[in-house]
Chain A
């Protein structure tokens, strides 16, 4: 499979607006991400992993430097469209809509994306089955699912509109080893079989071991 660069972080520095003036989360960071690979971002708590994902997903702006998505400057594209079609985000805290069922959550993402597909409902079931959930799970309100099940729903949602990049923030943080391996298998398949770029933030050495590339973030830096 042909590997290509989908994401490029180019000399990015970032500090939160309300942080002290010289306290930067990143300083002059540069990385490139390719399709067909699983990347793991490691680092201590507070090292800026979530912040990095926020920048990549366009949720956080006001950084120095450039971030490119397939040669396109992130600061110059429509971020809503970017988020609902080019990247799939799996959050640490799942971020599902609690008043909806599992399948409604997934359907919503597909609708926001504007998919014209006819049998969306069948695709939802397929997606849920691909992450190891059943039809019974599909029609339950997400609050009535376990943490691991909710995480799977969140993954299924992020895949629903077939994005090129999957961003996952501690996708296995609340899960046992066995389930962690199940989920990891899904991500590896996505990278290696579907040629997607998968970026996983994790503390887990088990996850890091199975990655194609590991990025180690060190703690907060001061900018000279």
Chain B
């Protein structure tokens, strides 16, 4: 069609006008591309955060329900403490039953039991030591004896500590006013229950204390053999008992001194948490935690029928929206209402809040840009049409149809708009690579650091560890434009451009049909 050729000639012979329109389109396109890229970077960061901090659900005691049931029964505080102790612990079967759910991506658990040591001394909490050493020769420690699940702490993510911590706090407050005799009693009672907490993990992934840096290996490593009789002990315990990597410790059942277990020390860990800020450590001593694997603990339990093991599960949800549904499901599967589900939803959402607000800002900016762009384009097009009135007049007098004149003008605008749109998208693309990488770089270096730290925490051994599980490799810098301005973004821009052009040419169509060619020509002469 000759009008296509006409359009091209017209564009090339009226460069000034078309470059003006083009620059406006280019600026709009570039800023759209940048904002779209910011939005997609924000999405990437949010996804990476969600991978890094998966939605974890743990099971803890429901203190409110417990207290309420005792208030209802007019029971004394002693009864209540008793009840806490009697609370039926979770079993592995139960944990697996809850884990077998369509909402769950995966789950892991710790299995723990309390034992006494043979020829090894327990580490003592300094706070208690101060108040008690004058009266007692032996090293005593106010362990949270009433906590039925000492191992619960073992795999408790930070958000959950407060809950279990407060349980200990309240009771231990009473405990702190103890007399010497009471300390003696406690000691005996503690010995009866076992002073060492032996926690079994089933994978590196489950060992959140090492992942989040609470514990770091200072000597040796965490063995990757999750079936062997290996263990990792605290630096404090090692120093106290002059133990080193390669030594064997012997643990004794608190119920029967004849039942013993030998564990091979593969590593020594150091605890990094600030004890003062961690309520748990005031009254318990995590230095007495001996870390091993689930198989070993199962083995111990099978030898000692009086053992009172505890299971602490961590469920990782597929989708953060399923928290409520999972809770309903677990309840329907029979979880006692003395237990409750805790989750880290708030922590995860807080982490992504600021990124999401950047995204919202970008969206607003995009809309404003589009509105301003549309208005400016419309105005320019009107001015353009007025300027080309004479041309319209001539074309109409020599017999060109209105619709064809309109089509040619639209075509011209479309060619100019699309050319500069693509140009703008490229410029915006180049810029947004920089912008996106600025946004992403921080996240990426954090992620890289994480990998290194975690590897160190385990004593350098990461063979089995699936790094993607903690989202550390999810982010990568963008090094090509098509990554920042992907096809979807380009398509969106194209749609926007065509939309704006059509709005512009609708205005010109109306103008063309209104003009009388004769009047236009007369105006000219």
* A contact residues vs B (CB 8 Å cutoff): 54, 57, 59-60, 79-85, 89, 91-93, 95-97, 99-100, 104, 108-109, 111-113, 157
Contacts and interface: CB of A to CB of B under 8 A. Distances in A.
Given A99-B10, A100-B9, A108 B398 contact: yes
A100 B516 CA distance: 23
A132 to B, nearest CB: 22
B521 A80 contact: no
Given A60-B518, A100-B13, A104-B9, A93 B524 contact: yes
A155 B393 CA distance: 18
Contact of A89 (B9, B398, B524): B398
Nearest to B402: A80
22 contacts: A59-B517, A59-B518, A60-B518, A80-B399, A83-B397, A83-B399, A85-B399, A89-B397, A91-B397, A93-B525, A95-B394, A97-B394, A97-B395, A99-B9, A99-B14, A100-B9, A100-B13, A108-B2, A108-B6, A108-B398, A111-B2, A112-B399
A83 B524 CA distance: 21
Given A54-B518, A99-B10, A112 B394 contact: no
B9 A112 contact: no
A60 B516 CA distance: 9
Interface of B: 2, 6, 9-10, 13-14, 391, 393-395, 397-402, 404, 516-518, 521, 524-525
A84 B13 contact: no
A80 B400 contact: yes
Contact of B521 (A85, A95, A97, A108): A95
Contacts of B525: 92-93
Contacts of A84: 398-400
Given A93-B521, A97-B391, A81 B10 contact: no
Secondary structure of the A side of the interface?
A: helix
A59 B398 CA distance: 10
A84 B393 CA distance: 14
Smallest CB-CB A-B distances: 6 pairs:
A84-B399, A83-B399, A111-B2, A99-B13, A93-B525, A59-B518
A153 B402 CA distance: 24
Contact of B397 (A95, A99, A108, A111): A95
Contacts of B400: 80, 84, 112
A108 B13 CA distance: 15
Contacts of A81: 399
A59 B518 CA distance: 6
Nearest to B14: A99
Contacts of A112: 2, 395, 398-400, 404
Nearest to A163: B399
Nearest to B391: A97
Contacts of A104: 9
Contacts of A82: 399
B17 to A, nearest CB: 10
Given A89-B398, A92-B525, A109-B399, 13 more contacts: A54-B518, A59-B397, A59-B517, A59-B518, A79-B399, A83-B397, A84-B400, A85-B399, A91-B397, A93-B521, A93-B524, A97-B391, A97-B394
Contacts of B516: 59
A108 B9 CA distance: 11
Given A59-B517, A80-B399, A83-B399, A95 B13 contact: no
Contacts of A93: 521, 524-525
Residue from B6, B14, B516 having most chain A Cβ neighbours under 10 A: B6
Contacts of A109: 398-399
B398 A157 contact: yes
Contacts of B397: 57, 59, 83, 89, 91, 95
Nearest to B5: A111
Contacts of B524: 93
A85 B398 CA distance: 9
A91 B517 CA distance: 13
A79 B517 CA distance: 13
B403 to A, nearest CB: 10
A80 B391 contact: no
Contacts of A85: 399
Residue from B2, B13, B399 having most chain A Cβ neighbours under 10 A: B399
A83 B517 CA distance: 12
Nearest to B404: A112
B161 to A, nearest CB: 78
A120 to B, nearest CB: 10
Contacts of A99: 9-10, 13-14
A112 B400 CA distance: 6
A83 B398 contact: yes
Nearest to B12: A99
Contacts of B394: 95-97
Nearest to B518: A59
Nearest to B10: A99
A89 B433 CA distance: 58
Contacts of B391: 97
Nearest to A86: B399
